[in-house]
Amino acid sequence: MIVVSTTINDVKIIQPNIFSDDRGFFMETFEKKRYQEALQINLNFVQDNYSHSKKNVLRGLHIQQTKPQGKLIRVIMGEIFDVFIDLRDQSPTFGQWSSIILSEQNKKQLWIPPGFAHGLFVLSDTANIEYKCTEYYHPEDEICLLWNDPDLNIKWPSMTPILSIKDKNGLLLKDFLSLRIK
């Protein structure tokens, strides 16, 4: 597998080894020791999530405030525009965001460490996303940032996404930062 750093500190793109022939393909999507070594982490994944969404759905930008989740994300079917924002206080890339296209075709995986807000926008007719988390989901600890916060200025593929009520009512980054537990 090939691991590539992104412009955001500690976020990695993983290109698994793919073995293809006329029958199809095989790829290893996770092996604990190999991934811990390649990503230089000593975290355990405790929960797997699976999401199905239709075209133009935007999910996010979500973060757990006191129990942050690291996420290993991959697309099983379809294509997404995946966004991550560094909200780790001591990080040199604090407050910065970046994005990547993840798809069933490119088979890339994305490692987002704990302390990031995360969101995605579905580009294909539907998309199935699977992600491993390093912390359990705690709904009472989750915060949603406003997807179109002008201070973040994220360049989404569409400015008319399909949103949940929670995502429509997200906090501005400056309000989130003023509420954070230090």
Q: Which residues are tagged catalytic?
A: 62, 131
38 three-state secondary structure: helix
**CA gap 44, 119 in Å, rounded:** 22
Query: Are the beta carbons of 51 and 128 closer than 8 angstroms?
Result: yes
Radius of gyration for the alpha carbons in the chain, expressed in angstroms and rounded: 16
- What are 100's strand-pairing partners? 82
Placement of tokens 């537990």 in the chain:
181
Spatial contact of 98 and 91, defined as CB atoms under 8 Å apart: no
State the CB neighbour count (10 A cutoff) for residue 16: 18
